[in-house]
Amino acid sequence: MTLASERLAELGLRLPPAAAPVANYVGWVRHGHLVFTAGQLPFDENGTLQSPGKVGVDVDIATAQAAARLCALNCIAQAAAAANGIDNIARVLKVTGFVNATPDFRDHPAVINGASDLMVDIFGEAGRHARAAVGASSLPLNACVEVEAVFAVRE
C-alpha cells in the first residue's frame, strides 16, 4: 500500500502549510476520528490567490478545475495538521465545492472534479468521497472556487 506522502511526492506536489484563518473561525475542527476543514480558497504556496473571477466569464473550466485542485490541496494541508501528518488521514468522506459562476453556468461538477480527482490521486480508493458542487453568485476575495472537506483520521 502506497502512503499518501509517497503519492504526493510521485505527483510532484508539496503539502503547503495549513493556512491561518483570516477571521473568527479555525482552519479545521477535529471531533474523534473526524476532521472538518474550513472552506479553502485557491491560494498558492506564496499566499497568492489564483484565478480570481467568475467562471463562465473571467475563468474557463480548465483553469477553474486547477483552482479547485489547489483548494483540495489546501484542505488536505488542514486535515494533515489536525491528524499530525498526511499519512494519518484514513479516508476522504465528503467534499463540498462552491463555484463562483454566471447564472447560466451548468458545469459546476466539472469544475469540482479538479478537487475530487486530486483526492483520489493522493489517497486512492480511500479518496473516493460523497460530494456536492454548488454554484454561487460570489465568493470571498472574488475567488473562482472554494472547497471544504470532511476526513476520517487515524488516532
pLDDT digits (tens, 9 = 90+) for 42-74: 999 999 999 999 999 999 999 999 999 999 999
| 65 occurs within a structural domain | yes
| 103 occurs within a structural domain | yes
Residue 64: its pLDDT value, please?
Answer: 98
- For residue 135, give its domain range: 33-153
4/89 Cα distance (integer angstroms): 8
| 18 occurs within a structural domain | no
Residue 22: its pLDDT value, please?
Answer: 84
Residue 1 has pLDDT above 80, yes or no: no
Residue 132: its pLDDT value, please?
Answer: 98
* pTM beyond 0.75: yes
| 9 occurs within a structural domain | no
Q: pLDDT, tens digit, for every residue of 82-100?
A: 999 999 999 999 999 999 9
pLDDT band per the 50, 70, 90 thresholds, residue 2: confident
What is the grid cell recorded at 120?
483520489
Domains identified in the chain, total number: 1
| 133 occurs within a structural domain | yes
| 85 occurs within a structural domain | yes
Residue 60's nearest CA partner among 148, 142, 144, 146 is 144
Residue 12: its pLDDT value, please?
Answer: 96
Residue 69: its pLDDT value, please?
Answer: 98
| 61 occurs within a structural domain | yes
| 2 occurs within a structural domain | no
Average pLDDT, the chain: 96
User: Which domain CATH number covers 130?
Assistant: 3.30.1330.40
